[in-house]
Structure 1
Amino acid sequence: MSLSRRALFGAAAAAVLPLWPASEARAAAPFRNELPPAWHRFRVGEFEATIVSDGALPLGRPAPAFPASPPEEIEALMRAHFLPVNEATLEQNALILNTGRQLILFDTGMGESMGPQSKMFGPTTGRLLRNMRAAGIEPEQIDLVCATHAHCDHVWGLVDERGQRVFPNAQVAISEADLKFWTDDGNKRGPEWVSVFIEGAKKNLAAYRDRLVMVRDGQEVVPGVTAIATPGHTVGHYVYAITSGGTTLVNTGDLAHHQVLLLRRPLWEFAYDTDPKQSAQTRLRMLDRLATDRHAVLSYHFPWPGLGHVSKESEGFAWHPAPMNVTALG
């Protein structure tokens, strides 16, 4: 005996009818409206690496962040990659590296040091410490903080609102150029945010004045971690190449803020660049190097957890996120 498709689907529908009377409907489970702790651990050769999130950083409409770019092209690129056209959201992916001898944090997120100004990008930032602790790492364990640059979302987590060191046992590595620029009141010109950034950098870096380490282009900060000058986004922006066991991961900081807009169009200018044209040329050169060398990349602002590779594609580059189940890079 055979069953028609209609009879078969009818039987299937009957099979999923409630097993209790309608008059005894169960209460709906409440919405949780909360995210789990955001941390991800993997290996870089012999080193152990942990990425912790400081939370999402919403930019709002993308067009103002790319003032020299055609709005219709921005919208087309966002739409083509299934992204909302009226909302650009960046992540904050802070890397903690355990070399076996030292525990190194790269960038600190927005923190809470500047009170209400610490929430200038909204309430979703400032989660670094809780995510560190969820990953089993206490701020007292950090030996060195490597700052890619001195913008708010990278160094404002160095101290608390009272100006006390968040990482009491740490030194802070930063470029001399960025240290001088972002602690100089004479540079308070141009957009209003520049003055705010300077005040925040002064407060956060002053607490470590006797613990500062000046990075140099091409030199190791510690064994296995090499600083590479990539100026433009700020005058002293640096990326860090981490090498162990024949494997290299490059922590790119703010080399590129968006995985589509600034990879597909690497010469586009970004509103928060100190020197937009220099930044674009630096980005193009470094992305080409990363694609050619096939090094793994940890991007501070790309979608969580910011780990992957870049490849050349058309006139720009493409982003290839690493699978989340990857436990080692090779």
Structure 2
Amino acid sequence: MNGLSRRALLGATAGSAIAGLALPGAEAAAPFRNDLPPAWHRFRIGEFEATVLSDGALPLGDPTDSFLGVEAGEIRKMLTDNFLPPGAATLAQNALVLNTGRQLVLFDTGMGDSMGEASRMFGPTTGQLLRNMRAAGIDPAQIDMVIATHAHCDHIWALVDANGNRNFPNAQVAIAEADLRFWTDEANKRGPDFMTAFIDGARKNLAPYRDRMVMVRDGQEVIPGVTAVAAPGHTVGHHCYIISSGDRIVMNTGDLAHHQLLLLRRPGLEFSFDTDPKLSAVTRTRLLDRIARDRYAVLSYHFPWPGLGHVLREGDGYGWLPATINTTLVE
């Protein structure tokens, strides 16, 4: 046995002996942390800098209550076959901050806490956007414009705080006039139970910005490099947004599709929170076909964090190819 191997053997023997000792405090159990790190991801779109911020998980509960149009067993089988829990659907919430070099623009605000208990209707895991924004080095007062894909709770209820003060004091708000009118109209408090809370929340959050509203229009630029694309059905004024810089394009699809499997494989399914489910399915199919054909990169608000990837044709539907987030999506 040479000197090197003898020393290695002696070291291993000594280590084994020490490992067998019960050292003071060695068996103390470390407490579970039960907290999450700040969630933000930064990348480039041509000359623009983009930062995705998480507003936290949005649990929907039993997916057969939200995704309609086929037998419950088929929904559960699709999920099980793809290693997803069949009894619970959880959506991500991926808001985008775009720095064009001239303007700092936030797409959607997350749930916030403006409506108290109603803000927590989907559980305590939402409402993380402002915390994650600050962790990413962005001051809410720096936001020049908030572009709302639509006026649902998880997209605009962080425009103000619980006292009705603007969370983005220097921002304009860009939204479709159809959504502004619909979701601030008391007469629309009918139908599903959630309608009353949604309308009360939209009124509270949009009112403080009424003197600084920008109405978006299909096919027109909201700011240079950001073009509105009408996508009605989920709400009357729901819009997607094409972000273009140089030869790079990303479509922010908002709530065009809420689930990366169910509503891509079966784009004709209906979603229970759609204002017009049948129109929503038609719009979804039309735009998914365009996205796949033109090979746009995609940011989806509700697909798994951070919601970046590509849509491709897959049989009679579509598939989702997520981006690897330790690489740049579009450079």
TM-score normalised over the length of structure 1:
0.94
Give the corresponding residue for 1:323.
324
One-letter amino acid matched to 1:225: V
Q: 1:213 to 1:73 in 2, by over 3 A?
A: same
Whole-Å Cα distance in 2 between the matches of residues 178 and 227 of structure 1?
14
Q: 1:234 to 1:28 in 2, by over 3 A?
A: same
Q: 1:246 to 1:199 in 2, by over 3 A?
A: same
Whole-Å Cα distance in 1 between the matches of residues 18 and 49 of structure 2?
50
> What whole-Å deviation, never above 9, does each CA across 1:55-100 have from its counterpart, x for those lacking one?
0000011000023321111011101110011110001000000000
> What whole-Å deviation, never above 9, does each CA across 1:182-233 have from its counterpart, x for those lacking one?
0001111100101110000000000100010000000000000000000000
Q: 1:127 to 1:23 in 2, by over 3 A?
A: same
Whole-Å Cα distance in 2 between the matches of residues 275 and 35 of structure 1?
36
Whole-Å Cα distance in 2 between the matches of residues 267 and 16 of structure 1?
63
Task: Could you tell me which runs of 5 or more consecutive residues in structure 1 were left unpaired when the two chains were aligned.
Answer: 1-13
Whole-Å Cα distance in 2 between the matches of residues 192 and 205 of structure 1?
21
Give the corresponding residue for 2:139.
138
Whole-Å Cα distance in 2 between the matches of residues 215 and 55 of structure 1?
27
Q: Which 4+ stretches in 1 moved above 3 angstroms?
A: 14-19
Give the corresponding residue for 2:9.
none
2:139 counterpart of 1:105: no
Whole-Å Cα distance in 1 between the matches of residues 64 and 47 of structure 2?
42
Q: Where in structure 2 are the equivalents of 1:14-93 lying within 5 Å?
A: 19-24=18-23, 25-93=26-94
Superposition CA RMSD, Å: 1.5
Aligned-pair identity in percent equals: 68
Give the corresponding residue for 2:198.
197
One-letter amino acid matched to 1:300: Y
One-letter amino acid matched to 1:229: A
Give the corresponding residue for 1:220.
221
Tell me the SS of whatever aligns to 1:23.
coil
Contact kept in structure 2, 1:230 and 1:255, CA below 8 Å: yes
One-letter amino acid matched to 1:102: Q
One-letter amino acid matched to 2:162: E
Shift of 1:318: 0.4
Give the corresponding residue for 2:4.
none
One-letter amino acid matched to 1:69: V
Task: Could you tell me which runs of 5 or more consecutive residues in structure 2 were left unpaired when the two chains were aligned.
Answer: 1-12
Contact kept in structure 1, 2:308 and 2:329, CA below 8 Å: no
Contact kept in structure 2, 1:54 and 1:109, CA below 8 Å: yes
Give the corresponding residue for 2:123.
122
Whole-Å Cα distance in 2 between the matches of residues 82 and 67 of structure 1?
20
Give the corresponding residue for 1:233.
234
Give the corresponding residue for 2:7.
none
Contact kept in structure 1, 2:309 and 2:329, CA below 8 Å: no
Q: Where in structure 2 are the equivalents of 1:173-212 lying within 5 Å?
A: 173-212=174-213
Give the corresponding residue for 1:163.
164
Shift of 1:245: 1.1
Whole-Å Cα distance in 1 between the matches of residues 319 and 38 of structure 2?
29
Whole-Å Cα distance in 1 between the matches of residues 76 and 50 of structure 2?
36
Shift of 1:23: 3.0
> Could you tell which deviates more after superposition, 14-23 or 181-190?
14-23
Shift of 1:16: 9.1
Whole-Å Cα distance in 1 between the matches of residues 14 and 138 of structure 2?
50
Whole-Å Cα distance in 2 between the matches of residues 251 and 17 of structure 1?
57
Whole-Å Cα distance in 2 between the matches of residues 19 and 243 of structure 1?
62
2:161 counterpart of 1:172: no
Whole-Å Cα distance in 2 between the matches of residues 158 and 239 of structure 1?
19
Tell me the SS of whatever aligns to 2:68.
coil
Tell me the SS of whatever aligns to 2:122.
coil
Q: 1:113 to 1:19 in 2, by over 3 A?
A: same
Contact kept in structure 2, 1:69 and 1:269, CA below 8 Å: no
Whole-Å Cα distance in 1 between the matches of residues 15 and 270 of structure 2?
56
Whole-Å Cα distance in 2 between the matches of residues 294 and 59 of structure 1?
30
Contact kept in structure 1, 2:177 and 2:215, CA below 8 Å: yes
Contact kept in structure 2, 1:263 and 1:319, CA below 8 Å: yes
Whole-Å Cα distance in 1 between the matches of residues 327 and 301 of structure 2?
18
Tell me the SS of whatever aligns to 2:234.
coil
Number of equivalenced pairs: 318
One-letter amino acid matched to 1:65: S
Give the corresponding residue for 2:254.
253
Give the corresponding residue for 2:6.
none
Contact kept in structure 1, 2:68 and 2:269, CA below 8 Å: no
